[in-house]
Structure 1
Amino acid sequence: MPASTTCGFRVAGMFAGVGGLEEGFRRAGHSSSMLCEFDPAARHVLSRRFADAEISEDVRALSALPDCDVLTAGFPCQDLSQVGRRVGISGPNSGLIGSVFDLLRKKAVTPQWIVLENVPFMLSLDRGRAIRLLAQEFESMGLSWAYRTIDARSFGLPQRRRRVVVLASKAHDPRPVLLGVDEGPPAPFKRGNHACGFYWTEGNTGLGWAIDAVPPLKGGSALHIPSPPAIWFPRTGTIATPSIEDAERLQGFEPGWTDLMDFDPRAARRRWRMVGNAVSVPMAEWIATRLTAERSHFVEQDAGDLPSEGSWPGAGWGHGGRRGRSLASEWPVSRPRQHLASFLRQRPTLLSRKAAAGFLSRLVASSLRYDPKFRSDLQDHVNAFGRP
């Protein structure tokens, strides 16, 4: 175990957002020395929540990385997201990860660990160019790496949030850390009377449907407006959206984490964007805990090499001059499930008539399959408002 872990790792966070990765590391006993974030509202949150950390504004303006044991970077996903621009890793936002690699190459002593996070669509977009570029960058600096798609539900949160975590190191083998434990996905279960989350901004080609969970919280819709997911409560027929405080909790933050009243009382919409863009705190805490856990030699069933062309699978690694697939599932652990309806602490807000009617009209016109009771409750919800 590295000597520095006795008093905790020093963490430097790039694209820190509101500190999801860094808060997870703090809960595991580590501390952040420097955080870099472009959004002024998010920087305000960071300055309040990480008072001892130096706060920087633009990764492109940094002349050097501070001395640190761990470098975290949940880099922008706008160009890599399935619902984003899809221009790829060279896009104006996601391409900023290049600045991080430039800083790493200038560093005389590479951090012990590098932790990246982004959306799973990057494994297939543009034939997997993004994940290949990350692998090539790490290998050019002599680092071993591993990546894994992880679902936030693995940690008991009722949010279906799948994210790719990439872990790299020059001094350590990242495979036992990230791939060495696996619970496997739980058996699927029927809807029953469980609350179900969906995207009310969709309805043409998808629903974002999630049983006993919400779909991934998003920074905004294609219309660039805050878009908290809606929730259908079959027991009562209610169609509503969660409060921002419960959305924070769905990401693993304490309620009120992103409060901006002392920054801009009119900035409520910014909170939804910041929460939607955040990294799940329990997932980050699990990663941080794994970095200092006792680990046996990595042994995995041979799943073959990573493909030289085309998309990459949900997990893989590069070590000792070889690249390999991994059979690791999206569920490294399986913590007790928290049911969505009982997880919410605040009364949800009824979805507006305009939003519900628009979604219903798109749904009916589509070829999507859906529960007849869901449609019936949607129609009743719209009718209950009366005519506008």
Structure 2
Amino acid sequence: MPRISYGVTGLFAGVGGLEEGFRRAGHETEMLCEYDEVARHVLSQRFKGAIIKHDVRRLKSLPGGGILTAGFPCQDLSQAGQRRGIEGPNSGLIGKVLALLRKADVPPAWLLLENVPFMLKLDKGHGIRWLTKQLEEIGFSWAYRTIDALAFGLPQRRRRVLLLASMQHDPRPVLLGEDYGSEKKVEREGHACGFYWTEGNTGLGWAIDAIPPLKSGSALHIPSPPAIWLPETHAIVTPAIEDAERLQGFPAGWTNVDGYDSKARRRRWRMVGNAVSVKMSEWIAHRLAISYPVHEAGALAPLPEEEGWPSAAWGQAKGARSRVNVSEWPVKQPRQHLASFLEYPTAQLSSKAAGGFLRRLTASSLRYDPAFRVDLERHVALQSS
């Protein structure tokens, strides 16, 4: 089957997770736009030759044709964020993208948006309902799907919504045409487990043989890497930034900007936490390089009018909409175990961090593995001595 190569324009590009995945699939990055200065420096080093802009609000137009990617800000749509919704000051910047699409002389062949799954539930699904309506009014057909990056083999649980739209093509066979099905529950069985030491009151952010989703840290750029329990050695550690980059699918050192910013280490955690999984991006980029027949729709399953939307759905610019019964695992690629994945020296979780987590955990009603508490108490005692 012949493959198609597109030029890629990336808005809200961060450090290029979406665009690196597309490059690996044979597409060429033409323009990137990113507000953060340090992230723009990373982009300039990793995508030499691409035009780099610094503020989507100042763009007058978009390159015609090709693929437009936009992992737009999630702060107002995240469960852990401010929950101001799609019109919030950060996530509302998607409105600027829509305005550029409305006035484009030559629209992109494909539009790929990325955000957090909570946007499907927040305000009874107002954000996704508003966004898809805007796309339909412009003339786009669309499909979206919640996908867990664990499906692509890296030991990080990271669920994201990918929305693919086009005025020329049917997005359904690309985004919805593969489905592995639900992954079986992983038993601990001595595996390393990731958790967030900043939690402990109402949850653990617990992941067996994986880490929970990497976070960008606080608004003050304070890094917040997850902790990892290594039962074989009874250790409680945090991963190196290089392994965090690898957990996102980048090569180690992707965000190394020490020569540019002497305080860059904290910024690196923030940039990596904000990034899109490269392997997830590469999967859809490969599928966009193939020409698919028009998808034949089956029986329609209506989308709700006054409640949150399902994990996958599609709609046409002039026509039907429907929910879709697909899993969050389009494929299942060979998965690496977390303990053996780590290549760089880990750091012991500090006594202060571990002790605070332990106090919150024991005061809560959360269920947890007794062996985990024993090793956590041992760790606090050793770190405090």
Q: TM-score of the superposition, structure 1-length normalised? A: 0.96
How large is the Cα RMSD of the aligned pairs? 1.5
| Structure 2 CA distance for aligned equivalents of residues 338 and 178 of structure 1 | 25
For 1:285-300, what aligned pairs fall within 5 Å after superposition? 285-299=282-296
**Contact 2:9 2:30 (8 Å CA) reproduced:** yes
Q: CA deviation at 1:200?
A: 0.6
What is the aligned counterpart of 2:222 among 225, 240, 247?
Answer: 225
Q: CA deviation at 1:294?
A: 4.3
Instruction: Tell me the equivalent position of 1:197.
Output: 194
Instruction: Tell me the equivalent position of 1:254.
Output: 251
Residues 100-131 of structure 1, C-alpha deviation per residue, up to 9 Å, x if partnerless?
Answer: 00111110111000000000000000111111
| Structure 2 CA distance for aligned equivalents of residues 260 and 275 of structure 1 | 13
| Structure 1 CA distance for aligned equivalents of residues 85 and 365 of structure 2 | 29
What is the aligned counterpart of 2:278 among 269, 273, 281?
Answer: 281
What is the aligned counterpart of 1:137 among 131, 134, 138?
Answer: 134
Q: CA deviation at 1:292?
A: 2.0
Instruction: Tell me the equivalent position of 1:209.
Output: 206
| Structure 2 CA distance for aligned equivalents of residues 238 and 303 of structure 1 | 52
**Contact 1:33 1:54 (8 Å CA) reproduced:** yes
Residues 161-219 of structure 1, C-alpha deviation per residue, up to 9 Å, x if partnerless?
Answer: 00000000000010111001100122112101000000011111111100000000010
Query: SS at 1:213's partner residue?
Result: coil
One-letter amino acid of the structure 2 residue matched with residue 331 of structure 1 = W
Query: SS at 2:384's partner residue?
Result: coil
Query: SS at 1:375's partner residue?
Result: helix
Query: SS at 2:112's partner residue?
Result: strand
Residues 279-323 of structure 1, C-alpha deviation per residue, up to 9 Å, x if partnerless?
Answer: 000110111111122434424654611111210010000025111
| Structure 2 CA distance for aligned equivalents of residues 152 and 303 of structure 1 | 28
| Structure 1 CA distance for aligned equivalents of residues 50 and 340 of structure 2 | 36
| Structure 2 CA distance for aligned equivalents of residues 262 and 47 of structure 1 | 14
What is the aligned counterpart of 2:104 among 107, 114, 121?
Answer: 107
Q: TM-score of the superposition, structure 2-length normalised? A: 0.97
One-letter amino acid of the structure 1 residue matched with residue 13 of structure 2 = A
Residue 384, structure 1, aligned to residue 385, structure 2:
no
**Contact 2:132 2:142 (8 Å CA) reproduced:** yes
| Structure 1 CA distance for aligned equivalents of residues 172 and 90 of structure 2 | 29
Query: SS at 1:385's partner residue?
Result: helix
Instruction: Tell me the equivalent position of 2:69.
Output: 72
Residue 119, structure 1, aligned to residue 116, structure 2:
yes
Where does the alignment leave 5 or more consecutive residues of structure 2 unmatched?
Answer: none
**Contact 2:64 2:105 (8 Å CA) reproduced:** no
| Structure 1 CA distance for aligned equivalents of residues 18 and 150 of structure 2 | 17
What is the aligned counterpart of 1:92 among 84, 89, 93?
Answer: 89
Instruction: Tell me the equivalent position of 1:340.
Output: 338
Query: SS at 1:168's partner residue?
Result: strand
| Structure 1 CA distance for aligned equivalents of residues 219 and 202 of structure 2 | 14
One-letter amino acid of the structure 2 residue matched with residue 195 of structure 1 = A
Query: SS at 1:239's partner residue?
Result: strand
Where does the alignment leave 5 or more consecutive residues of structure 1 unmatched?
Answer: none
One-letter amino acid of the structure 2 residue matched with residue 83 of structure 1 = A
Going from structure 1 to structure 2, the CA distance change for 1:235 and 1:112 (only over 3 Å counts) comes to same
One-letter amino acid of the structure 1 residue matched with residue 115 of structure 2 = N
| Structure 2 CA distance for aligned equivalents of residues 242 and 303 of structure 1 | 46
One-letter amino acid of the structure 1 residue matched with residue 356 of structure 2 = G
**Contact 2:221 2:266 (8 Å CA) reproduced:** no
**Contact 1:11 1:68 (8 Å CA) reproduced:** no
